Amino acid sequence: MKYRLVLALVVLVLVPFLITFRVSSTPSAPPPSPTTAIADTSGTSLRSLAQKRGVSIGAAVALEPLQNDATYRKVLAREFNVLVPENAMKFAVIHPKRNQYNFAQIDTLVAFAKAHGMQVRGHPLVWHYSLPNWLEKGNFTREELKEILREHIQTVVGRYRGQIAVWDIANEVVTRDGSFVDSIWLREIGPEYLDLAFRWAHEADPKARLYYNEYSAEEISEKSDSVYNFASGMLQRGVPIHGIGLQMHKLVTWSFSSSVADNIKRIGKLGLEVSITEMDISIAEGTGPREERLAKQARIYGDMMRVCLSAPHCKTFAMWGFTDRYTWATSWLGTEGAPLIFDESFRPKGSYKALEEALSR
Ligand code: XIL
């Protein structure tokens, strides 16, 4: 009798407690991924539709789910033909010590892309962020830093020559007022580090398409004027720049106008390509029921795809991930923004359907 009582106590109290504790002690770990055919879409795929329309479709890819989540791999390979390393190519990851590179992560992504007929977009070579301590605290002279940057760019671009055809060389470098974002490169080398970066990358792979990638420069604005002026200055100086990446991290409250199309047009007139490189639309902000915000999100995705399709020099439409299960919005921005086109169970959202529809016309 006593024994039964103890057993009942264990079952009724201890087991639920343990389950609750486990779940709440790992709040960021999502539940196991569905392994069934839940992720199947209508039989077509975005990549097959995009291919017919002459545009590439991409997603930023994180190593952890690529290695551990079969559904993630399946949907990624089925829907996208461009893979962007979310973090695997950042300076601190790929070049952790002065004389040591770590290509293991990016090689895993490149191998996956190759196995599934996907292009890789190199991202990013020069950024003020994600730099290793040895570099930031190194007290290097100007000449030493120039040599570090040249060696970094030429080692990485050279290693993937013939495998990575498009690169974000410079990431987030100008401010609204046309000055440059503070960084060790700017402080120690001066603004010419940017021209040099493009020239060095071009030397390492003369066939690669080299981009300057920027956020909040989608519409005609002070910031996009700065981007435009900077890029046209580079062209005048004969710097090998081939395109501008518009990141497009936006909120669902974004009310855009024809000004995105106008901006894309003026970049084209410079003779440059454009790509949408990191699109995500957070629904965390704004009022109204969730369903309404999701519908608005879908409209924005569809509209932006149409804008890209109507500009022949808009080459790639890439998102910063593809499933709300794994998005920097949760881990980095700390919001439940549900900003992507598949939900947390890999079901296609309205945003997916909006892209599908835009590509099908
Ligand atoms: C972000 C990643 O998504 C995060 O995981 C990381 O901690 C910080 O960087 N613009 C960019 C991307 O160009 O490289 C950033 O990626 C998001 C903003």
Contact 351, 281 (CB under 8 A): yes
Q: How many CA atoms lie within 13 A of 232 on its CB side?
A: 11
Q: Is 172 a catalytic residue?
A: yes
Give pLDDT tens digits along the chain (361 positions): 344 433 343 333 333 333 332 222 333 334 444 443 445 555 689 999 999 999 999 999 999 999 999 999 999 999 999 999 999 999 999 999 999 999 999 999 999 999 999 999 999 999 999 999 999 999 999 999 999 999 999 999 999 999 999 999 999 999 999 999 999 999 999 999 999 999 999 999 999 999 999 999 999 999 999 999 999 999 999 999 999 999 999 999 998 789 999 999 999 999 999 999 999 999 998 889 999 999 999 999 999 999 999 999 999 999 999 999 999 988 777 677 999 999 999 999 999 999 999 999 8
Atom of ligand 1 nearest to the CA of 328: 3
Tell how far the Cα of 87 is from the centroid of ligand 1, in angstroms.
7
Mutation pick for ligand 1 pocket among 247, 328, 335 (CB with most ligand atoms within 8 Å):
328
Q: What is the DSSP letter of 32?
A: P
Residue with token string 């690529």: 66
Tell how far the Cα of 358 is from the centroid of ligand 1, in angstroms.
27
Name the residue at shortest CA distance from atom 12 of ligand 1.
Answer: 86
Rounded Cα–Cα distance for residues 78 and 184 (Å):
40
| Sign of the torsion angle spanned by Cα atoms 142, 146, 147, 149 | positive
Helix or strand holding residue 266 (H, E): helix 259-269
Q: Is 278 a catalytic residue?
A: yes
At 336, which amino acid appears? E
Tell how far the Cα of 320 is from the centroid of ligand 1, in angstroms.
8
- Residues whose beta carbon lies within 6 Å of some atom of ligand 1: 86-87, 124, 171, 247, 278, 328, 332
Show the beta-strand stretches assigned E in the chain: 56-61, 82-85, 119-122, 166-171, 209-214, 243-246, 249-251, 273-282, 314-319
SS3 60: strand
Atom of ligand 1 nearest to the CA of 60: 3
Tell how far the Cα of 324 is from the centroid of ligand 1, in angstroms.
15
Rounded Cα–Cα distance for residues 209 and 205 (Å):
9
Contact 103, 146 (CB under 8 A): no
Rounded Cα–Cα distance for residues 147 and 153 (Å):
10
Show the beta-strand stretches assigned E in 207-313: 209-214, 243-246, 249-251, 273-282
**Whose CA is closest to 346, among 23, 29, 35, 28?**
35
